[in-house]
Amino acid sequence: MVNILVKDNIARFRMSCKVEKSGFLRYIIIFIRNKRSFPGKITMRKSMEQVIDDGDNSSRPPSCTEQVAFSIFRYFPYGGLQLDMMRMAQEFTSRNIRVVIYCMGYDIAGVPPGIEFRVIPVRSWSNHGKALDFQKKLAKELAKEKFLAHVAFNRLTPADWYFAADQPFVESVNRSFLEKMLPRYRTFAGMEKALFQAENDTRILCITQAQQKAFQRLYGTPDERIYQLPPGIDEKFASALELRKNRDELRRELGVGEEDILLVQVSSAFHTKGVDRSIAAVAALPENIRNRTRFLVIGRCRADAYIKFASRCGIGGQVIFAGGRSDVASLIAAADLMIHPARNEATGTVLLESLACGTPVLCSANCGFSPMVKEAGNPVLPRLFRQKIFNRTLMVLLSTPGKLADLQLEAENYGKNGDFYRRAKCAVDLITGCAK
């Protein structure tokens, strides 16, 4: 009965998503969303020069004689790409190199010393129009000053370096022929091609071998332009025992009982990372397990549709949407299992964060770091995703006595010996080395 209900709800959920994204209504929704400004966004009434000046939010330390430029569409806390960018920025400043970040808007409580955000205002009704306008104005701003290098964190040209956090845009989602004819697709696909094509000289910082192969297959990017980076997670994840000190307190705060099972998923893109799949799997658990299972979703994303979906599946009171949190490491350490059935995931840094602090992982093979999860002795779902397989695998893990404890031990052992922390240092070594 539960399986029938879940299937019906999945179909209704997908249909609601399709309706929201279709036709004229889609553009109305986009317009409304775009009108909601970020806390750091500057109004269009100001001139370009005024906005750039107002963005000067960090004084240059006296010892800094060089500066590097970063570019990103928007900065906000807790996004995977944004975290990577900030770690690199702080690595630069630790070497007395100032960082200037150009963006359309940003949301940050306090800007670290040696880092400056400069907002470039853009004018367009659409996101792809804003991206083109930002790229055009960015080039003019970069020409006004001397930088050691320009590092792009979105697909922007010209750039000296591009940090490739995602899979190729043209392969990220299965799109219909009509969708590929739309201006949005053609714009972002064109920006990606301009960046990776053999005629360009931008150096690429890749984070998985599979990612590199995909870009080279599509665009013929020469080997000498591509550099592989190791994983890069925060070193605070290395101390599992320290992180678990507040485990019981955090679980009580979340309303999780001593005998309850706490599942966790960390994401700022719920559909791409498969949060709906996770909700369906929890709803499909046998009643005796389902009633004592809580599912914690951490991340800044629109949750309304997923809250409704969980309610329709009958587990609305067991799914906790925590939003963006600064104590992610402690929350992961407080969980019994991380689930991550992503549709598309270039790496899956949260998987290594989970292993590093001793929390076992169940993920899909679509994650770039899934081979490392398998090396750790933790389960990986087939690349061709089937909800029934996910449901059954989760049920076996939660119902088999001692299974989670065994996986936790495997995760802890792997986490102690993993090379998870050097990405920012290696990236800055490459950028500064090539610049000199």
Q: What is the mean pLDDT of residues 14-27?
A: 45
pLDDT of residue 234: 80
> CA-to-CA distance for 80 and 233, rounded, in angstroms?
10
pLDDT confidence of residue 394: 97
For 318, the enclosing helix (H) or strand (E) is none
pLDDT band of residue 127 (cuts 50, 70, 90) is very high
What pLDDT, on the 0 to 100 scale, is given for residue 69? 97
Say how many residues make up the chain. 436
* Average pLDDT of the chain, as a whole number: 85
Mean pLDDT along residues 302-331:
93
Distances (CA, A) of 242 to 239, 319, 333, 363, 408: 5, 27, 10, 25, 16
Top-confidence residue, 336 or 413: 336
Q: Where in the chain is the domain with CATH 3.40.50.2000?
A: 39-232+422-435, 235-417
Is 358 in contact with 341 (CB distance < 8 Å)?
no
Which residues have CB under 8 Å from 20's CB, separation 6+? 26, 29, 305
DSSP 58-126: SPPPTT--EEEEEE-SEE-TT-HHHHHHHHHHHHHHHTTEEEEEEESEE--SSPPTTEEEEEPP---SS
Residue 189 CA from chain centroid, whole number: 20
What is the predicted pLDDT for the residue at 35?
A: 43
**Over the stretch 340-392, which tens digit does the pLDDT of each residue have?**
999 988 888 899 999 988 899 999 999 989 999 999 999 999 989 999 999 99
pLDDT tens-digit series, residues 170-228: 887 677 778 888 999 999 999 999 999 999 999 999 988 888 999 999 999 999 999 99
β 226-228/203-206 pair status: parallel
Q: Looking at residues 303-318, what average pLDDT do you find?
A: 95
Closest to 278 measured CA to CA, from 110, 390, 193: 390
- 432 burial type by CB count under 10 A (0-12 exposed, 13-18 middle, 19+ buried): middle
pLDDT, tens digit, for every residue of 94-104? 999 999 999 99
Q: Which CATH number does 235-417 carry?
A: 3.40.50.2000
Q: Please, is 43 exposed, middle or buried when counting C-beta atoms within 10 Å of its C-beta (0-12, 13-18, 19+)?
A: exposed
Separation of alpha carbons 328 and 300, rounded Å: 12
Q: Are 189 and 195 in contact (CB under 8 A)?
A: no
Lowest mean pLDDT among 13-22, 177-186, 208-217, 413-422: 13-22
pLDDT digit string (tens) for 251-274? 998 999 888 999 999 998 899 999
CB 111 within 8 A of CB 40: no
pTM of the model: 0.70
Per-residue confidence (pLDDT) for residue 268, from 0 to 100? 86
Count how many Cα atoms sit within 13 Å of the Cα of residue 367 in the half-sphere of its side chain: 25
Question: Distance (Å, rounded) from C-alpha 117 to C-alpha 99?
Answer: 9
Phi, psi (5° rounding) for residue 212? -60, -45
Predicted confidence at residue 10, as pLDDT, reads 53
Q: Quote the tokens at residue 147.
A: 């930088």
Q: Is the pLDDT of residue 41 over 80?
A: no
Give the rounded distance of the alpha carbon of 182 from its chain centre: 25
Q: Is the pLDDT of residue 9 over 80?
A: no
Q: Is the pLDDT of residue 435 over 70?
A: no
What residues have CB less than 8 Å from 177, skipping those under 6 apart? none
Number of other CB atoms surrounding residue 423 within 10 Å: 23
Give Cα 294 distance to the centre of its chain: 23
Q: Residue 354 in 3-state DSSP? A: helix
Q: Could you give the dihedral angle defined by the CA atoms of residues 109, 111, 116 and 117, in that order, rounded to the nearest 10 degrees?
A: -10
Percentage above 70 pLDDT, the chain:
84
Exposed e or buried b per residue across 67-106, where buried means at least 16 C-beta atoms within 10 angstroms of its C-beta: bbbbbbbbbbbbbbbbbbbbbbbbbbbeeebbbbbbbbbb
> CA-based angle 110:111:115, to the nearest 5?
175
Cβ atoms 53, 141 nearer than 8 A: no
Q: Which CATH number fits domain 39-232+422-435: 3.20.20.10, 3.40.50.2000, 3.40.50.10320, 3.40.50.300?
A: 3.40.50.2000
Please say whether the beta carbons of 332 and 357 come within 8 A.
yes
